[in-house]
Copies of this chain bind each other. A is one copy, B any other.
Amino acid sequence: MNLIKKSLHDHNSCRQKVMEAAKLYCEEKNLKLTPVREAVLNMLLNEHQALGAYEILEGLRISGFSAQPPVAYRALNFLKDIGFVHKIEQLNSYIACYHPDTTHSPVFLICQSCNDITEKSIDRHEDEFNLLANETGFEITNLVLEAKGTCQACLASA
């Protein structure tokens, strides 16, 4: 697994920072980061990896929340809409965003060997996709950019 990578940053403080940012964002926009929503975001921040909706659901059950599928999906969709969670389409799973903002599009590098997911980002409005879309007059509302493959660590240890 990706022990090296994970030790490279202070996970605890990064987690708290994002949670604070989410709270602030919701306050500003008059949205509610309710207990369920906060629990889901917290779980994803803790895991620091992609989780399926039913794993989230199991976590909610353990924490004493109602645990029918819609509960998890509603929270995930809320967090996705405000940009603090992304869906990894190729894995049907969800991951916390550690640098939410509106000027970048997330790019995910998914390692098939260690399951680690790295989030990169590219400039919105200047990237190839937007250029390509602009050429044909297509207006983008959502970009999914995902690469599956093998990460450096796994390549090295192979």
Contacts and interface: CB of A to CB of B under 8 A. Distances in A.
Interface of A: 89-90, 107, 109, 111-112, 118, 120, 122, 127-129, 132-133, 136-152, 155
A132 B120 contact: yes
B144 A138 contact: no
B128 A152 contact: no
B139 A155 contact: yes
Q: Which 6 pairs from chain A and chain B are nearest by CB? A: A137-B152, A89-B89, A140-B149, A142-B148, A144-B146, A141-B149
Contacts of A122: 128, 132
A136 B151 CA distance: 8
A45 to B, nearest CB: 22
Nearest to A138: B109
Contacts of A90: 89, 142, 144
A155 B141 CA distance: 13
Residue among A90, A145, A155 with the most chain B CB within 10 A?
A: A145
B149 A137 contact: no
A15 to B, nearest CB: 22
18 contacts: A89-B89, A89-B144, A90-B142, A90-B144, A107-B132, A118-B136, A122-B132, A133-B149, A137-B155, A138-B152, A139-B150, A139-B155, A140-B147, A140-B149, A142-B148, A143-B146, A144-B145, A144-B146
Given A128-B122, A132-B120, A136-B118, A150 B155 contact: no
A141 B150 contact: yes
